[in-house]
Amino acid sequence: MATKVIQPKRLNDPRPRYSHGIIADGGKLLFIAGQTAVDKDGNVVGKGDIEAQTRQVYENLTAVLEEAGGSLKNLVMTTTYIVDRKYREGYNKVRMQYYKETPPTSTLVIITGLAHPDYLIEINGIAVL
């Protein structure tokens, strides 16, 4: 898959946090459901710990991508939901450990709650394989 980052000169450059736009050539689209901090056995990982939960979410995203034949490099768009603004720094700290090259486009939304009261974060995505 060939990609090209779109960074208009008249907009602030947000990299390395995220990219404004990405053009992807060829491949199949993979739509990834919202991933939460749940392990293989259905247990919530890192109750009350945004960094531990973010790591588990990224491991879950990676598992879906790898099963489809890709990696985090194939992500072109993510939407992240966190339950409190205070978790933004911890989320970003862990997130940056997973994006070694060009990060996907990204939207961060602060909401009042997720499907389970112990969830602090949920991320869905679109990848091109």
Report pLDDT digits (tens) over 68-79. 999 999 999 999
For residue 64, give the amino acid letter: V
DSSP run (H or E) holding 127: strand 121-128
> pTM of the entire structure?
0.90
pLDDT band at 54 (very low <50, low <70, confident <90, very high): very high
Beta-bridge mates of residue 124:
79
User: What is the reported pLDDT for 5?
Assistant: 85
For the cut 90, the answer to whether the pLDDT of residue 24 exceeds it is no
Determine the average pLDDT of the residues in 30-59: 97
Count the residues in the chain.
129
**How far from 15 is each of 7, 8, 104, CA to CA, in Å?**
9, 12, 10
CATH superfamily of 27-128: RutC-like (3.30.1330.40)
pLDDT band at 17 (very low <50, low <70, confident <90, very high): confident
The residue written with tokens 């736009």 in the block is: 21
More confident residue, 47 or 7: 47
Mean pLDDT of the chain: 93
Beta-bridge mates of residue 127:
30, 75
Is residue 103 a contact partner of residue 93, using CB atoms and an 8 Å limit?
A: no
